């Protein structure tokens, strides 16, 4: 029998070794202006592309927010928070990679707090590169109504022409954000 919060966390850490929870990057406008949706269900819609043209280091590509009520927990477990994305470099000669920032956003209120920044993907060239990156978070307190926001950005280095970077979601990409399993309401 589970008797306290620490036992619940220990059980969740064990469950997470089986895969954790997933939000899919969805080309559906969020209720937050300028953001797209982190969806718990993969809808199989046609591929959508987001472009950062002539990108400079740190330029945004796209932002995704969970829907109201998700993840619905009062804490995020310590562990790896990962993305699997597909991206292309369609112009420029400089090196490029992608990284993400993970934020919590108060609901209501809309105040965003940076939780962490991921490692960079490997540099990539040409079309449709499957890329993974991650960040490691400690146990992190949330309000049960807080939402998760993922902001994808471009990392640029070297000399030459600024790259054009395209993030691909949906379609055959199953681009997603995976995080340690949490229990709604805790």
Q: Decide if 162 is inside a domain.
A: yes
Taking the C-alpha atoms of residue 112 and residue 99, their distance in angstroms, rounded to an integer, is 18
Residue 172: per-residue pLDDT:
86
Q: Decide if 185 is inside a domain.
A: no
Q: Decide if 37 is inside a domain.
A: yes
Q: Decide if 152 is inside a domain.
A: yes
Residue 15: per-residue pLDDT:
52
Tokens of residue 91, six digits: 């112009």
Contacts of 21 (CB under 8 A, 6+ apart): 40, 71, 178, 179, 180, 181, 182
- The share of the chain scoring above pLDDT 90, in percent, equals 69
Tokens of residue 10, six digits: 């220990």
Q: Decide if 186 is inside a domain.
A: no
Q: Are the C-beta atoms of 167 and 154 separated by less than 8 Å?
A: no
Number of domains in the chain: 1
Q: Are the C-beta atoms of 10 and 43 separated by less than 8 Å?
A: no
Distance of CA 53 to the CA centre of its chain: 21
Count of Cβ atoms closer than 10 Å to residue 73 Cβ: 18
Which pLDDT tens digit goes with each residue over 49-90?
999 999 999 999 999 999 999 888 888 888 899 999 999 999
Regarding predicted confidence, which is higher, 5 or 115? 115
pTM of the model: 0.88
Q: Give the CATH number for residue 26.
A: 2.60.120.260
Q: Decide if 184 is inside a domain.
A: no
Taking the C-alpha atoms of residue 32 and residue 70, their distance in angstroms, rounded to an integer, is 14
Which pLDDT tens digit goes with each residue over 17-56?
445 688 999 999 999 999 999 998 888 889 999 999 999 9
Q: Decide if 86 is inside a domain.
A: yes
Can you give the residue range of the structural domain that contains 31? 5-179
Q: Decide if 82 is inside a domain.
A: yes
Residue 172 in 3-state DSSP? Answer: coil
């Amino acid at each position: 029998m589970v008797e306290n919060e620490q036992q619940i966390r220990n059980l969740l850490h064990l469950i997470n070794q089986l895969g954790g929870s997933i939000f899919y990057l969805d080309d559906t406008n969020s209720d937050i202006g300028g953001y797209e949706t982190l969806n718990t269900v993969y809808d199989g819609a046609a591929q959508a592309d987001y472009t950062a043209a002539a990108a400079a280091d740190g330029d945004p590509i796209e932002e995704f927010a969970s829907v109201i009520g998700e993840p619905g927990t009062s804490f995020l477990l310590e562990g790896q928070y990962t993305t699997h994305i597909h991206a292309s470099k369609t112009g420029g000669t400089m090196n490029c990679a992608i990284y993400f920032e993970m934020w919590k956003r108060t609901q209501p209120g809309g105040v965003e707090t940076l939780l962490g920044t991921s490692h960079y993907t490997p540099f990539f060239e040409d079309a449709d590169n499957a890329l993974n990156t991650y960040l490691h978070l400690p146990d992190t307190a949330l309000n049960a109504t807080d939402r998760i926001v993922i902001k994808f950005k471009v990392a640029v280095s070297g000399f030459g022409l600024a790259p054009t970077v395209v993030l691909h979601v949906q379609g055959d990409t199953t681009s997603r954000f995976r995080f340690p399993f949490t229990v709604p309401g805790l």
